């Protein structure tokens, strides 16, 4: 095995371990011992003992299983001998098996979040919808929201989910300022106005209530979010960070044409 591959695998393991430190995903039910799924699970846990495994499914790649764990996707052979870390291309179709797998998984998981838990800015009759993991303090999130009317004018509804970049708790174990700010927004009487004012740098009135902010942050980790804004098309494909209204329209149209 080449030194380069070892470095790539070690980097992947370290990245996955970092995701584990933040993620709170529920571990899926272990399969029956000695099945290929059990072997795949054991192989991954030997590499990353604290990995939170969300999904193990047969892969289009013969003899391999697709594993989504702690915000990462890898392929592991049913006998546990081989691990593929990286993009897998179907040369006959010219498409990415990895992108397709992530898209399907993200679409399913995002569909579980009710609209009532999102902050929505939409035209009267939207043609397209994007889901955006956002932080109220990040510069490009603010730029994107400054253009929300132009985005809506393109027929695109924007549904925001909370993803405080500093996490839910800091190194001191205390709730982070950004998390508390986003909770105050989600608990505001007028979420949309509080959200817009926060994007302009105005602190929301402190508030607390039963809210989805932590759950949405944890979901982002499971889906592989590493920064904000993270913009997803309806088919679950990550189409951007920041996109201009014209770029966003082009991206959602492309994914709509693909049957998303």
Catalytic residue among 142, 165, 187, 218: 165
Pairing label, strands 95-96, 53-58: unpaired
Catalytic residue among 135, 142, 218, 222: 135
Tens of pLDDT, residue by residue over 56-91, are 999 999 999 999 998 999 999 999 999 999 899 999
Q: State the distance between the two ends of the chain, measured CA to CA, in whole angstroms.
A: 39
Which pLDDT band, with edges at 50, 70 and 90, does 255 fall under?
confident
Select, from the ranges 4-18, 27-41, 241-255, the one with the highest average predicted confidence (pLDDT).
Answer: 241-255
Catalytic residue among 138, 142, 218, 222: 138
Query: 115-257 has which CATH code?
Result: 3.40.30.10
In sequence order, what DSSP letters do the residues of 100-163 get, joined into one string? HHHHHHHHHHHTTS-GGGSEEE--SS-SEEEEEEE-TT-HHHHHHHHTHHHHHHTTEEEEEEE-
Tens of pLDDT, residue by residue over 97-145, are 999 999 999 999 999 999 999 999 999 999 999 999 999 999 999 999 9
User: Has 141 been annotated as catalytic?
Assistant: yes
pTM for the complete prediction?
0.84
Catalytic residue among 41, 54, 141, 187: 141
Say how far apart CA 69 and CA 15 lie, in whole Å.
11
Which pLDDT band, with edges at 50, 70 and 90, does 197 fall under?
very high
Scored b (16 or more CB within 10 A) or e, 168-194 reads beeeeeebbebbbbbbbbbbbeebeeb
Q: Is the pLDDT of residue 20 over 50?
A: no
User: Has 165 been annotated as catalytic?
Assistant: yes
Say how far apart CA 71 and CA 60 lie, in whole Å.
20
Task: For CA atoms 56, 160, 246, 124, give the dihedral sign.
Answer: positive
Does domain 3-86 bear CATH number 3.40.50.2300? no
Pairing label, strands 156-162, 128-134: parallel
Average pLDDT estimate for 231-248: 96
Q: Give me the pLDDT at residue 258, please.
A: 62
Q: Is the pLDDT of residue 27 over 60?
A: no
Query: Domain limits of the chain?
Result: 3-86, 115-257
Percent of the chain whose pLDDT exceeds 70: 86
Tens of pLDDT, residue by residue over 207-236, are 999 999 999 999 999 999 999 999 999 999
């Amino acid at each position: 095995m080449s030194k380069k591959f070892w470095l790539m695998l070690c980097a992947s393991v370290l990245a996955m371990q970092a995701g584990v430190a933040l993620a709170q995903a529920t571990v899926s039910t272990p399969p029956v011992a000695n099945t290929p799924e059990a072997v795949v699970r054991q192989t991954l846990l030997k590499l990353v003992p604290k990995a939170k495994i969300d999904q193990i499914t047969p892969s289009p790649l013969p003899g391999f299983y697709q594993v989504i764990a702690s915000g990462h996707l890898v392929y592991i052979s049913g006998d546990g001998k081989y691990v593929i870390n990286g993009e897998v291309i179907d040369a006959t179709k010219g498409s990415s098996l990895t992108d397709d797998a992530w898209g399907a998984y993200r679409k399913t998981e995002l569909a579980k979040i009710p609209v009532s838990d999102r902050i929505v800015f939409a035209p009267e009759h939207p043609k397209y919808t994007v889901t955006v993991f956002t932080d109220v303090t990040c510069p490009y999130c603010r730029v994107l929201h400054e253009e929300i009317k132009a985005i809506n004018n393109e027929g695109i509804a924007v549904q925001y989910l909370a993803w405080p970049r500093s996490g839910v708790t800091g190194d001191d174990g205390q709730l982070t300022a950004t998390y508390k700010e986003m909770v105050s927004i989600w608990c505001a009487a007028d979420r949309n106005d509080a959200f817009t004012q926060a994007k302009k740098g105005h602190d929301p009135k402190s508030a607390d209530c039963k809210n989805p902010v932590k759950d949405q942050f944890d979901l982002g980790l499971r889906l592989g979010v590493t920064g904000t804004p993270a913009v997803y098309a309806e088919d679950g494909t990550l189409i951007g960070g920041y996109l201009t209204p014209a770029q966003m329209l082009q991206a959602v149209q492309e994914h709509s044409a693909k049957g998303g």
